[in-house]
């Protein structure tokens, strides 16, 4: 055998590695994951806004959360000038025995779920809870999460006024840290654990203190709500939509862009070691740019990238 001839076994391994890397990076025969990301980006480009329904018992803090007062009509949509791509619906508060209010909300969600246009559908539900230890969960709240439904809209449970719960369980003989821990344990035992046991539990859980103290605290807690809401959305196109319309919150855009490409960067390093064509480097660069930019505001135009020969 000639000394200059390549080792067949070694060459086979390099070729196999190259094929795996090409698939993982979206070249040649793209993987299912890569296809789903690009198809999701195309679908996201068709969306014009993200629709949020805010519900909960009366005095749970919905008005404070939305920083809006007025008529609470679940069918009346409204937006804010700061970001009109978010459309909100604010229902009347649930009261004990208020079966009509619950039915109106459930009917509205079901109607929206049947809408042919994705822009007319409800994309997420923020369910606000008042952490009152004397009446942790109302019968209507239990019914909402236990009753059979024909729709599948993710729900985020928002526990408002957590500082008020701390006051309810305050013990003057304990330190501030101990009282806070007691409040956290109470919240978990009386709210979170029961909710998780229901037939249709929330996908996310957020704890907020009083939002009307100052603008800085309000903004920090809203950022946490946004983060938990994004994590609760399973549909990739909707997740792209929700994150990319965060015009005033680039942190979460950057976070998801990094998450989306970090594994591909690892593969890229391996690929660069065996790539023999400069053309492949261009394909790799373009693919990584595409995977990052779909998470940023106004950058959701999808280009058709050429595949490797």
What mean pLDDT do residues 232-260 have?
79
Going from the C-alpha of 168 to that of each of 127, 178, 180, the distances in angstroms are: 22, 13, 11
Q: What pTM does this model have? A: 0.75
What mean pLDDT do residues 239-265 have?
74
pLDDT, tens digit (0-9, with 9 covering 90-100), for 197-230:
999 999 999 998 866 566 667 677 888 898 899 9
CA nearest to 44, candidates 304, 233, 300: 300
User: Residue 286: what pLDDT?
Assistant: 61
| Position with higher pLDDT, 2 vs 42 | 42
Any idea where the domains of the chain sit in the sequence?
A: 48-245, 249-308
User: Residue 232: what pLDDT?
Assistant: 93
User: Residue 291: what pLDDT?
Assistant: 67
The residue to which tokens 């942190």 are assigned: 251
**Strand 86-90 relative to strand 77-78, pairing:** antiparallel
The residue to which tokens 């229902």 are assigned: 91
Q: What angle do CA 79, 83, 84 make, to 5 degrees?
A: 45
Angular region, 82: left φ>0, alpha ψ -120 to 50, beta rest:
alpha
pLDDT, tens digit (0-9, with 9 covering 90-100), for 19-69:
544 444 444 444 444 446 677 777 777 788 899 999 988 777 787 787 767
pLDDT, tens digit (0-9, with 9 covering 90-100), for 114-161:
888 888 899 999 999 988 888 888 888 999 999 888 888 999 999 988
pLDDT, tens digit (0-9, with 9 covering 90-100), for 94-113:
776 678 888 889 999 999 99
User: Residue 17: what pLDDT?
Assistant: 46
Fold of domain 48-245? Rossmann fold (3.40.50)
Beta bridge partners, 54, equal: 90, 126
pLDDT, tens digit (0-9, with 9 covering 90-100), for 197-206:
999 999 999 9
The span from the CA of 194 to the CA of 187, in Å, is 10
pLDDT of 236 strictly over 50: yes
What mean pLDDT do residues 179-187 have?
95
Position 192 confidence tier, pLDDT thresholds 50, 70, 90: very high
Strand segments (E) across the chain: 50-56, 77-78, 86-90, 124-129, 155-159, 204-207
DSSP string, 46-102: T---EEEEEEEBTTSSHHHHHT--S---TT-EE--TT-TTEEEEEPPPB-TT-HHHH
User: Residue 50: what pLDDT?
Assistant: 92
pLDDT, tens digit (0-9, with 9 covering 90-100), for 260-295:
666 566 555 555 555 555 555 555 656 666 667 667
């Amino acid at each position: 055998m000639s000394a200059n001839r390549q080792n067949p076994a070694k060459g086979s391994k390099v070729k196999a590695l190259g094929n795996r890397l090409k698939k993982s990076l979206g070249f040649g025969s793209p993987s299912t994951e890569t296809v789903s990301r690009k198809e999701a980006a195309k679908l996201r480009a068709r969306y014009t806004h993200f629709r949020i329904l805010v519900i909960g018992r009366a005095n749970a803090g919905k008005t404070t959360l939305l920083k809006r007062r007025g008529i609470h009509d679940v069918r009346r949509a409204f937006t804010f000038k700061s970001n009109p791509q978010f459309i909100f619906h604010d229902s009347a508060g649930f009261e004990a025995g208020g079966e009509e209010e619950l039915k109106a909300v459930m009917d509205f969600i079901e109607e929206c779920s049947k809408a042919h246009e994705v822009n007319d559908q409800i994309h997420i539900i923020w369910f606000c809870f008042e952490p009152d230890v004397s009446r942790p969960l109302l019968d209507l709240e239990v019914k909402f999460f236990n009753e059979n439904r024909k729709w599948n809209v993710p729900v985020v449970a928002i526990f408002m006024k957590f500082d008020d719960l701390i006051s309810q369980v305050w013990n003057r003989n304990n330190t501030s840290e101990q009282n806070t821990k007691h409040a956290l344990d109470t919240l978990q035992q009386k709210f979170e654990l029961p909710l998780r046991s229901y037939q249709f539990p929330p996908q996310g859980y957020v704890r907020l203190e009083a939002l009307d103290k100052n603008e800085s605290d309000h903004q920090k807690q809203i950022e946490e709500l946004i983060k938990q809401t994004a994590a609760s959305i399973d549909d990739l196109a909707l997740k792209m939509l929700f994150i990319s319309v965060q015009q005033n919150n680039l942190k979460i855009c950057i976070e998801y862009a990094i998450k989306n490409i970090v594994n591909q960067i690892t593969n890229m390093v391996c690929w660069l070691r065996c790539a023999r064509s400069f053309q492949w480097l261009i394909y790799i660069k373009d693919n990584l740019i595409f995977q990052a930019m779909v998470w940023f505001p106004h950058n959701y135009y999808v280009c058709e990238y050429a595949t490797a020969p």
